[in-house]
Amino acid sequence: MPAESSSKFFRLISVIQELFPGVLVCLTIAMAATFLSDHYGGPVMLFALLLGMAFHFLSEEGPCKKGIEFASKTVLRVGVALLGVRITFGQIADLGEVTILGVIVAIFATIFFGWVFAQVFKLKPSQGLLSGGAVAICGASAALALSAVMPKNKHSENNTIVTVVAVTTLSTIAMVLYPLITQQAGFGAIDSGVFLGGTIHDVAQVVGAGYSISDETGDISTVVKLLRVTMLVPVVLIFSFIFSARNKAKEEGQKASLLPPAFLVGFIVFVILNSFNLMPELAVDHLTDLSRVCLVTAIAGLGMKTSLQELFKVGWPIVGLVVSETIFIALFIYGLVAFI
């Protein structure tokens, strides 16, 4: 083996040895959270967060620190990229122009609402954009993806964690409450599917709520939700360009790069491959499972990096903001279904 290749190989082995303890801890917590969710019910993301926070001391110093950092950033990006395997352009087109346009307007209106109302809760506008994007698109996954391209400060990870906890909790409540609202409103299967898919934050809760009414409602709500997930691409691109330009101007005085983040390119590639049936169904199933594992592992890592003391300092205003955004998008989609 040439000297240069040998040197690279041993450097790779060294990096793996550094990352392995922390990644293993994150993966173990993710497996425990999945076990609890499967056997006792409840959102797996929330379990991973809470279990991770119990091991916060591991992220402060010691052999696990680098691996926890790797899991909360790099593994997160891989998980977001793999979300694209669940989506096809055909699924979206079948919804019809009015529904597609209405849901897209609701997404950007909710993000704008969050940006404006962040100032009411005395938060930074960027926090309103983060929570608004999480509520408008796909809950915890969107919060993680958007935070990856937003500016970092000493409170940014705590803000992300509070947002994830809030949207996950509200999504679980909505899974139980919103089907009752559709019944009281007299919505049919199609209208109920549009309302549930357009308002509930996380994909799993949308599926649970939709199929609790009927198979048709479950199918429609899932596709509407996938439309919202697809909008993660333009929203992350917009956020990336805005904050990249701002950071470059402040810190380096250089021209901002117009290249999208690599994980977003991966997301688009998987959507295209799936849309044109270029991926075997077995591969789609396995990659979907891998995406879920990556996201839960990343959440466990973020949980371990979270200090409860710091969390309480920033928590309640963000929760109030997320609740306001949740009510806003629910009223918006309700009006779309009831009157249009």
Q: Determine contact, residues 23/75, Cβ cutoff 8 Å.
A: yes
Say whether pLDDT at 70 is over 90.
yes
Stated pTM of the model: 0.78
Where is pLDDT greater, at 108 or 240?
108
CA distances from 267 to 119, 160, 222, 329 (A): 32, 21, 18, 25
Report pLDDT for 253: 44
**Contact by Cβ (8 Å): 158, 306:** yes
Residue 159 and residue 131: Cα distance in Å, rounded? Answer: 9
Q: How far lies 168's CA from each of 7, 46, 142, 277, in Å?
A: 45, 7, 11, 32
Task: Give yes or no for residue 286 having a pLDDT over 70.
Answer: yes
Q: What is the DSSP string of 191-235?
A: HHHHHHHHH-SSHHHHHHHHHHH-HHHHHHHHHHHHHHHHTHHHH
Rounded-to-integer distance, Cα 132 and Cα 155, Å: 18
Question: What is the average pLDDT across 136-150?
Answer: 88
Amino acid at 204: A
What number is the average pLDDT over the span 88-101?
A: 87
For the segment 231-250, the average pLDDT, to the nearest whole number, is 78
Q: Check residues 76 and 3 and name the one with the higher pLDDT.
A: 76
Percent of the chain with pLDDT over 90: 39
Burial environment of residue 216 by CB neighbours within 10 A (0 to 12, 13 to 18, 19 or more): middle
Mean predicted confidence (pLDDT) in 246-270: 65
To which residue do tokens 């995406």 refer? 291
Q: Report the chain's mean pLDDT, rounded to a whole number.
A: 86
For 21, the token pair is 């303890």
- The span from the first CA to the last CA of the chain, in angstroms, equals 69
Average pLDDT (9-16) is 85
Q: What is the pLDDT of residues 145-188, one digit of tens each?
A: 898 888 877 677 788 888 888 888 888 789 889 999 999 999 99
Q: Is 44 helix (H, G, I), strand (E, B) or coil?
A: helix
Question: What's the confidence (pLDDT) of residue 310?
Answer: 63
C-alpha 319/C-alpha 162 separation (Å) is: 7
pLDDT of residue 108: 96
Provide mean pLDDT across the span 6-34. Answer: 90
